[in-house]
Chain A
């Protein structure tokens, strides 16, 4: 059974940093690209970032480029999102999501974690 479990969310002041983690199980982790998608309270879904299965390719939404860094440790079946220079508009539930086909970086998301909440507030 595929499982994705996020952690690392919390309350942080504007300008601060947080590191999110996503622990994956139930599939061959390094075969699949992984994404982060966020959802502000009461709002829709916003794509944030992706990383290829081997970690060699990364992409970011313009809204987070230069502030967020996605990475993965395939030996630990884990995905990360380092978030720096946080802004109030980064407040959201952050989901990690798995793509549905191995080897593809851009595709549909067949499994999602339960999300971890990041609140940026003074």
Chain B
């Protein structure tokens, strides 16, 4: 099974900051990676799919990059509504696996 490792597990940032979250797969997954945002008490929301494609309706300050084993989610200018937990997910092979999550907190 493919393991997904996210770092950091949490990050403190201020509004306007650039935030970068990384996700590493235990083996190559090409570009079969998605990023989700989850706010407390809410279901996850798809932000990025195929490593770098922005889901419809998601603000352009979110971007994704990477392929193979190393991936990045970047928030170019953090907004108040972006404080949440972010998860990566691989869709290359069964079972689909999620990273452990990165909590973006207010500094």
Binding site for B on A (CB under 8 A): 35, 44-47, 50, 59, 61-62, 95, 100, 106-110, 112-115
B19 contacts the other chain (CB 8 A): no
The 7 closest A-B pairs by CB, nearest first: A112-B43, A108-B34, A45-B98, A108-B49, A44-B101, A47-B96, A44-B100
The answer to whether B44 and A112 touch across the interface, beta carbons within 8 angstroms, is yes
The answer to whether B91 and A106 touch across the interface, beta carbons within 8 angstroms, is yes
- Number of cross-chain contacts by CB at 8 Å: 52
What A residues does B96 contact at CB under 8 A? 35, 47, 50, 106
What B residues does A100 contact at CB under 8 A? 46, 49
What A residues does B93 contact at CB under 8 A? 106
B87 contacts the other chain (CB 8 A): yes
Please, what's the 1-or-0 string for B87-107, where 1 marks a CB less than 8 Å from any CB in chain A? 101010111111111000000
Specify the chain A residue showing the minimal Cβ separation from B100: A44
Q: How far is the CA of A109 from the CA of B45 in the complex (A)?
A: 8
B55 contacts the other chain (CB 8 A): yes
Nearest CB of A to B32, in Å: 9
Interface of B is mostly: loop
Chain B, interface residues (CB within 8 Å), range: 20 to 34
The answer to whether A108 and B89 touch across the interface, beta carbons within 8 angstroms, is yes
Specify the chain B residue showing the minimal Cβ separation from A110: B46
Q: A109-B44, A113-B43 are in contact. Are A47 and B97 (CB under 8 A)?
A: yes
The 20 sampled A-B contact pairs (Cβ below 8 Å) are A35-B96, A44-B98, A44-B101, A45-B38, A45-B89, A45-B101, A46-B98, A61-B95, A62-B95, A106-B94, A106-B96, A107-B91, A108-B89, A108-B91, A109-B46, A110-B46, A110-B55, A112-B43, A114-B42, A115-B43
